Structure 1
Amino acid sequence: MAREGLEVADVFRHFGPAFRDQHGASLSAAQRHAMTAIETCRTAALGGHVEQCGDCGYQRIAYDSCRNRNCPKCQGLARAQWLEDRQAELLDVPYFHVVFTVPAPIEVIAFQNQTVVYDILFRAASETLRTIAADPEHLGAEIGFLGVLHTWGQNLLHHPHIHFLVPGGGIAPDGKSWIPCRPGFFLPVQVLSSLFRGVFLHYLDQAFVAGALSFFAEYRHLQEPAAFRRYLAPLHTTKWVVYAKRPFAGPAQVLDYVGRYTHRLAISNNRLVSMEDGKVCFRWKDYRDDNRQKTMALSGEEFIRRFLVHVLPDGFHRIRYFGFLGNCHRARKLALCRDLLGMAPAGPAADPPADYRDRFEALTGQSLRVCPHCHTGIMVVIACKLVLRSRGMSRAG
C-alpha cells in the first residue's frame, strides 16, 4: 500500500495482531495501551458524533481522539497548548540549545532499565549545567532551563539524549542583578562533558549498589559487581558528547524551535512512504552521511518493535524544569528575572475555552466549526454515535 495519507495507525492495525500473538507477553502495560490507542484513535471504536452544516447541509462523522502521548495524530493540540503556556515564561535574552548524549554501552543499560537510567540522565545533565553555571569562573549565576528526553535516532533505533533550552544568563548569587552570558557563548562544552561523565557514572554506580538495575539476555553477567565495573571502566576516559547550538534570533523563534522537540515522536505520519509486501518504508536523515535523506524498509514486525521501544513507562515525565524554572518556585523567580531584566510583569493567564473546538482555534488559528464544504456555514452536532467495540471497524474518513 503505497499511498498518500499512510499512517502509523495503518501499520499497527495491519501488523499489530500478529505482533501481539508473538510478543504480547513481553510488552509493558504502557506499550499495550499505546498500541490499542493508536489503532483505535479517531475510529468508531472510540465513539464520536455527527455534525451538519447549518447552511449547505453537509454532514460528517467526527470520531473521538485517543489523546495518548504516543499517538502521532494527537500531538498537535497538546503541542499548541504547551507552547501557549510557555509564552509568558520567555525572557528577553538569547536562548541556547544544549544536548547531552550517552555512549553506546550506556544505551544498552538504559534499554534494560529505562526509568532508572533516564532519571539518572536528567539528574546528571541538569546538575552539570547548574554546577558549571554557578561557578564564578564561567557564569557565577543561577540558571533556569527545561529539558526534553528523546530516546530515538532517525532510524528508530534506541538513542537516548536530552535537549535543553537554556536562557543565556542567570540570577546573581545576591539576587540583585542578572548576569548575562558572553555574546554567542553559553558554557564550555568540554567542561560540561567531563563533569557530566563523572556525575552520571557516579549515580549509575549508586543505582547498581542499591540493586536498582536489572540485566537479562546477553548482559545478564553484568549483575556481578566485578563484571559491571569492568564494563564501565573504559567509559571513565571516553569522550561523552555534549554540544550547544548558537543562540536563537528572538523569543518567537525560540518557541517555534523548541516546539519541534517537546511533542515529537519517534516517527511522524508524514515520514511514511509505503506499506507493502510485509514491509514498511519510511524516510530518514542519515547524520553520519552528511545529513542525507534516505529511505529505509523494515518488516512490519520490526517497525512496531522499534516504535514501541520509545514508549516511556507510565507516569514518566519526558519534559522537566530546573533551576529558576523549577515547578515549586517558577512564578516567583520568573517575576524576579523579569524585574532584573527591565521587562513588564507577566499578565494573568486567561482561562482556556471549555470546548475543545474553541480551544483548538484559539491556539492554532484553524477553525473546526466552519464547514469544509461550503466554507461559510457552521458545523453543528446533530447526533452522538455509540462506541463500537469491533476491532474490525474501518477508520472513519
Structure 2
Amino acid sequence: MLRWARKQGVEVGIFCALHTYGRQLNQHPHIHLSVTRGGLDIKHGVWRDLFFKKHAVEEIWRGAVIRLLRHGYDLINPGSLPGLGHIRDKKQWQRYLQAQYGRRWKVHFAKKTRGAWRSVKYLGRYLKRPPVSAAKLRHYSGGAVVHNYYDHRTQQYRQQTLAQEEMIGRYIRRA
C-alpha cells in the first residue's frame, strides 16, 4: 500500500501491530494495520484523498506476503509449524506457496474512524495489551484457569478452562 501510494505521489501514514495469538491464546497470526485515507502530496505539500479498493489490496497483500515467505524458507522452517508438517523441503514449500495464489486472502476493512485520536487509541490498545488481561481471568482452582474471551464467530463472550500448564505454555508462546 505504501509503494502504491508513493507511485501516486502521496506519502501516507501507516500504523501496524503484529499479533501471533487469538483471543483463546491459540496460534492465530494476524496484523492490525491502519492506513490514512489520504496523504501528503510529495510535490505540492497538500493533502490528497486516496481510496483503496478492497479486492486490489487483498491481491497486493497476498503477493507481498507470499514473496516474503518464499525467500524465508531457511528462517521459517515451515515443516515444524502446525498444519505444515507435510512440507519436507524447499520445493514442497514453493508448491505450497504457489497454491496460495488460488485462495482468497481476507483483508478486513474496518469503518472509517472519526478522527486520528481514535485510531491512535485503537492501535495503542493492541500494542501494549498482554495476551490475557487480569480482568479477563475469572477463576483459578488448583490446576485449572478460567478466562473470558470474545468469540467473533458467534459474537458472544465465552469462557475457556485450561490446565495451568497449558495456560502458562500458551501465554509464554504468545507474550
| Equivalent in the alignment of 1:57 | none
**1:132-147 alignment runs, 5 A limit:** 132-136=4-8, 140-147=9-16
| Equivalent in the alignment of 2:173 | 309
| Equivalent in the alignment of 1:238 | 103
Task: Give RMSD over aligned pairs.
Answer: 2.2
Displaced runs of 4+ in structure 1, greater than 6 A?
A: none
Contact persistence 1:132–1:187 (CA under 8 A)? no
1:253 alignment partner, SS class:
helix
Q: 1:217 to 1:286 in 2, by over 3 A?
A: closer
Contact persistence 2:70–2:97 (CA under 8 A)? no
Q: Deviations over 1:2-22 (max 9, x none)?
A: xxxxxxxxxxxxxxxxxxxxx
Cα distance, 1:306 vs structure 2: 1.1
| Equivalent in the alignment of 2:157 | 293
Q: 2:20 aligns with which of 138, 145, 151?
A: 151
Q: 1:231 to 1:167 in 2, by over 3 A?
A: closer
Contact persistence 2:17–2:123 (CA under 8 A)? no
| Equivalent in the alignment of 2:30 | 161
Q: 1:253 to 1:225 in 2, by over 3 A?
A: closer
Which structure 1 segments of 5+ residues have no match?
1-128, 312-397
Higher RCO structure (Cα 8 Å, ≥6 apart): 1
- Match for 2:112: what amino acid? P
Q: 1:195 aligns with which of 56, 60, 76?
A: 60
Q: 2:76 aligns with which of 199, 210, 213?
A: 213
- Match for 1:132: what amino acid? W
Contact persistence 2:14–2:34 (CA under 8 A)? yes
Q: Distance in 2 between matches of 1:205 and 1:256?
A: 35
Q: Distance in 1 between matches of 2:55 and 2:102?
A: 13
Which structure 2 segments of 5+ residues have no match?
none
Q: Deviations over 1:161-181 (max 9, x none)?
A: 111222221122414322123
Q: Deviations over 1:71-126 (max 9, x none)?
A: xxxxxxxxxxxxxxxxxxxxxxxxxxxxxxxxxxxxxxxxxxxxxxxxxxxxxxxx
| Equivalent in the alignment of 1:347 | none
Cα distance, 1:221 vs structure 2: 5.1
TM-score (normalizing by structure 2):
0.86
Q: 1:175 to 1:206 in 2, by over 3 A?
A: farther
Q: 1:250 aligns with which of 95, 100, 115?
A: 115
- Match for 2:118: what amino acid? Q
> Could you say which structure has the larger radius of gyration?
1
2:66 alignment partner, SS class:
helix
TM-score (normalizing by structure 1):
0.40
| Equivalent in the alignment of 1:177 | 46
Q: Distance in 1 between matches of 2:22 and 2:88?
A: 28
Q: Distance in 2 between matches of 1:233 and 1:224?
A: 14
% identical aligned pairs: 26
- Match for 1:254: what amino acid? S
1:293 alignment partner, SS class:
strand
Q: 1:199 to 1:251 in 2, by over 3 A?
A: closer
- Match for 1:304: what amino acid? I
